[in-house]
């Protein structure tokens, strides 16, 4: 079921969104639609058989569906078969897969041909492994330059930035990672995209602590009538972004149907 939904939504999610001249739009996933503080969980650089499974176990326990930005080289090495199994599990459990280049290159240091190769090449790899369209993309290091924007346009991809980065990829401990994220979520007002890395042991250890805190905090907020922190899933965000296009298609189809009915009735003797 999740694969069918994701494949259908991917058809209408390919057009890139406009970016500000000084960088990627903020907040990264737009404004809250509910008025609640909202968080979207995203994970970069996998899949890694040593750590991704444990991240998935934690997400499953808390019924959270995330977005996994994958690098293509994971499917070009000796344990590629394990990475393929993880792709199946990620999709079967309701998460979204997205493009994070082949080699995690600093794209703005490359010529246009190299940028295209990193982006389009990773998309080809991921679409082959996932057996579906992969319309979302995240640039490594948050790079932003005209050459990259032009490449995204040529490849029909949408960039997906972030708002909260605990920088556990720099070697920070699980304790400091969890503390940073909890501090940000406690003060969250609006919608934020959380960036973590399913390849890092610090993420594996910090994630259960973060989600346990959210569960306790939401229970406390509910008891005092305060807005709870709401998790926006990857599929939910995809549906939200697709809705205007789907509504337009529905109206266009309805209008075409009415027009056809009018033509037919006019030609009935």
Give the bridge partners for 44, in sequence order.
69, 197
DSSP 63: T
Using DSSP, state whether 239 is helix, strand or coil: helix
**Cβ–Cβ < 8 Å for 260, 252:** no
Residue 151: CB partners within 8 Å, gap ≥ 6? 107, 112, 115, 116, 119
Our answer to whether residue 197 is catalytic in this structure is yes
List the catalytic residue out of 100, 144, 161, 197.
Answer: 197
Task: Count CA within 13 A, CB hemisphere, residue 6.
Answer: 26
Place of tokens 């266009």: 252
* Token digits of residue 129: 């492994």
Our answer to whether residue 44 is catalytic in this structure is yes
d(CA 27, CA 192): 6
* Token digits of residue 133: 């369209």
The terminus-to-terminus CA distance of the chain in angstroms comes to 47
List the catalytic residue out of 22, 44, 79, 163.
Answer: 44
Do the bridges between strand 158-159 and strand 136-137 make them parallel or antiparallel, or are there none, so unpaired?
A: parallel
Q: Which residues are catalytic?
A: 44, 197
């Amino acid at each position: 079921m999740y694969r069918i939904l994701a494949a259908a939504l991917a058809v209408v999610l390919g057009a890139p969104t406009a970016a500000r001249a000084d960088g990627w739009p903020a907040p990264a996933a737009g404004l809250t639609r509910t008025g609640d503080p909202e968080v979207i969980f995203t994970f970069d650089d996998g899949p890694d058989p040593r750590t991704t499974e444990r991240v998935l176990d934690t997400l499953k326990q808390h019924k959270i569906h995330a977005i996994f930005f994958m690098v293509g080289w994971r499917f070009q090495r000796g344990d590629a078969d394990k990475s393929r199994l993880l792709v199946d599990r990620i999709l079967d459990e309701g998460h979204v897969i997205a493009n994070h280049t082949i080699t995690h290159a600093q794209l703005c240091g490359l010529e246009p041909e190299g940028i295209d190769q990193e982006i389009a090449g990773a998309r080809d790899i991921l679409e082959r492994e996932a057996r579906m369209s992969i319309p979302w993309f995240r640039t490594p290091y948050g790079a932003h330059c005209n050459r990259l924007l032009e490449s995204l346009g040529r490849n029909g991809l949408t960039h997906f930035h972030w708002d909260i980065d605990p920088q556990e990829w720099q070697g920070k401990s699980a304790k400091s990672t969890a503390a940073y994220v909890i501090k940000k979520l406690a003060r969250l007002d609006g919608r934020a995209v959380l960036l973590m890395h399913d390849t890092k042991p610090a993420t594996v250890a910090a994630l259960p602590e973060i989600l346990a805190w959210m569960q306790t905090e939401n229970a406390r907020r509910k008891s005092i009538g305060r807005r709870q922190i709401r998790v926006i899933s990857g599929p939910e965000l995809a549906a939200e972004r697709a809705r205007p296009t789907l509504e337009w298609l529905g109206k266009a189809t309805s209008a075409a149907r009415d027009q056809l009915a009018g033509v037919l009735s006019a030609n009935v003797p």
